[in-house]
Structure 1
């Protein structure tokens, strides 16, 4: 773990003639989170517990992620909201021999990750090609002191995770590399449990999932096909979509009151979970607050969870999502 004495300090490059202003990266006073801010005002905050992104703000300071007011940020339990990292199992898998004894969504989100450093020289494309950017890297391995003790007891494989969070003026990218450092093969699943903030869930449409097959977890795991062009949320929704074609073929777009607000693109993540607890389910979730907060969030969760990713010794799996602000 990086000690406070070695915390990144605000760079002085902005005062050097000929060099543009640079992003600043700092630690919180209690050393629990990393905060990055672009010179144009955009910011991202990552809690070392779970490497959970708990805030993403645009230049005007408007929050783009939903975080429960009752979320535990002290490392006592997984964070409700933001972008928790799901690994090595999505949900629970009572019939899978390697992960049957693990808690829901595995242990990556309940382990303390190490901050590996920053980079401000990420190459970009499109309208952000010449804009400022910052990339934060985090690591977790089977030998890490911050690993959830449940992992070592119930999933005794040697592994290494590198998780990167990249902030630009118009987007946030989260990517993960999973490496099998064991002599034996293991299976895993990966998902980025993204809670996007919206103003009114009843005015939201999710585009880009037409004709996709999905598992409806609210309807007992029934397999269905998305027949309507848009997904609308009118009650508890918990669906695991498998869009046809390559994951990078097209974005999943969140439209609110007729205006596109987010575009989520995927790299090597074949599934998209759409989740909203609605009123009754929210009432029963202890750390979901306010209880009517379901009106202001929608989870669009890219992942590789429709099947197991089987990694032989020395193999690696990579996946990423990019959330772009629209309008």
Structure 2
């Protein structure tokens, strides 16, 4: 699926005189990543290895995501760090092969070609693909995942939000397969870890799954130590506060769970790919996903899920 001679800069979809400026998409010289920028200055950067969003900036250049200074961006390791008891996935890489494979960039859409609200504001949508036939597929996945599949991952940027969505299609004829999905989003916060607030969940759990049952947490969770939990909220939106001020709203679509993770001091220091050691004070993972169990995808069917992170001022 990977094209050998991709252009470094994708042309605008239209050059008709009188049209407002359109978003641009540029590849790096080594074709390892691409950067999309709205005409108003907001930008997003995606590493093709894992189709990993590694930067999201507002019009002033203020970064909204946290990225470890020790993260490997050369494809040697997943940027963000198995299920040994699950027969279909027990031999796959940690966190799954979608994060350890090189995805193909399928193209862009802009507000000029969209309908509805997206057409009324600067918007760019980037589509990435990975399939069982893709040359970028992790070799370990190809050896231990016998099912035919097709994944489409989309990243949509507008002035106030970032949306990521995935469609996982089972192309394997008559054989169903199981999957899990987690949007690994490391939000950048200032001074100290934030406090995600949300409606009282119906269920909470520690990872790894299956968990021991825990009582539902309060509607406000304050991070004061190592935190690694799976929640099942009753409503779709979670608010992430920074120093008691709302900063992000994370909205889920067809993703039942939210993982909240912060390694805190001891674990951060012990992790080789987490830097600086005190970086835990400036980041918080609030990750929508479908990880409370396995999602069965029947032959010819698909699983879809999405998240939207909205800036709050």
TM-based fold match above 0.5: yes
> Is 2:123 aligned against 1:122?
no
Task: Point out the more displaced range, 44-53 or 116-125.
Answer: 116-125
> Is 2:284 aligned against 1:283?
no
Corresponding position of 1:51? 51
1:209–1:241 contact (8 Å) kept in structure 2: no
CA deviation after TM superposition for structure 1 residue 124, in Å: 5.1
List aligned pairs for 1:21-100, cutoff 5 A.
Answer: 21-80=21-80, 92-100=82-90
CA–CA separation in structure 1 for the residues paired with 2:91 and 2:13: 50
CA deviation after TM superposition for structure 1 residue 220, in Å: 9.9
Give the TM-score normalised by structure 1: 0.90
CA–CA separation in structure 2 for the residues paired with 1:187 and 1:319: 15
**SS where residue 266 of structure 2 aligns?**
helix
Counterparts in 2 of 1:25 and 1:305: CA distance versus 1, 3 Å: same
Corresponding position of 2:184? 193
Counterparts in 2 of 1:280 and 1:151: CA distance versus 1, 3 Å: same
CA–CA separation in structure 1 for the residues paired with 2:291 and 2:208: 17
2:209–2:292 contact (8 Å) kept in structure 1: no
1:122–1:134 contact (8 Å) kept in structure 2: no
1:205–1:255 contact (8 Å) kept in structure 2: yes
Counterparts in 2 of 1:220 and 1:311: CA distance versus 1, 3 Å: closer
CA deviation after TM superposition for structure 1 residue 79, in Å: 0.5
CA–CA separation in structure 2 for the residues paired with 1:95 and 1:38: 45
Match of 1:175 among 138, 152, 165: 165
List aligned pairs for 1:207-286, cutoff 5 A.
Answer: 207-217=197-207, 221-244=211-234, 249-286=235-272
Give the TM-score normalised by structure 2: 0.93
Structure 2 unmatched runs, 5+: none
CA deviation after TM superposition for structure 1 residue 243, in Å: 1.2
2:8–2:29 contact (8 Å) kept in structure 1: no
Corresponding position of 1:105? 95
**SS where residue 206 of structure 1 aligns?**
strand
CA deviation after TM superposition for structure 1 residue 194, in Å: 0.6
**RMSD of Structure 2 on Structure 1 (CA):** 2.0
CA deviation after TM superposition for structure 1 residue 130, in Å: 1.9
2:46–2:54 contact (8 Å) kept in structure 1: yes
Structure 1 unmatched runs, 5+: 82-91
CA–CA separation in structure 2 for the residues paired with 1:241 and 1:322: 18
CA–CA separation in structure 1 for the residues paired with 2:310 and 2:215: 27
Displaced runs of 4 or more, over 4 A = none
1:209–1:226 contact (8 Å) kept in structure 2: no
CA deviation after TM superposition for structure 1 residue 53, in Å: 0.5
**SS where residue 128 of structure 2 aligns?**
strand
CA–CA separation in structure 2 for the residues paired with 1:187 and 1:297: 31
Counterparts in 2 of 1:217 and 1:188: CA distance versus 1, 3 Å: closer
Corresponding position of 1:325? 311
Match of 1:133 among 123, 130, 142: 123
CA deviation after TM superposition for structure 1 residue 101, in Å: 1.5
Counterparts in 2 of 1:295 and 1:214: CA distance versus 1, 3 Å: same
Corresponding position of 1:87? none
**SS where residue 102 of structure 2 aligns?**
coil
Task: Point out the more displaced range, 113-122 or 170-179.
Answer: 113-122
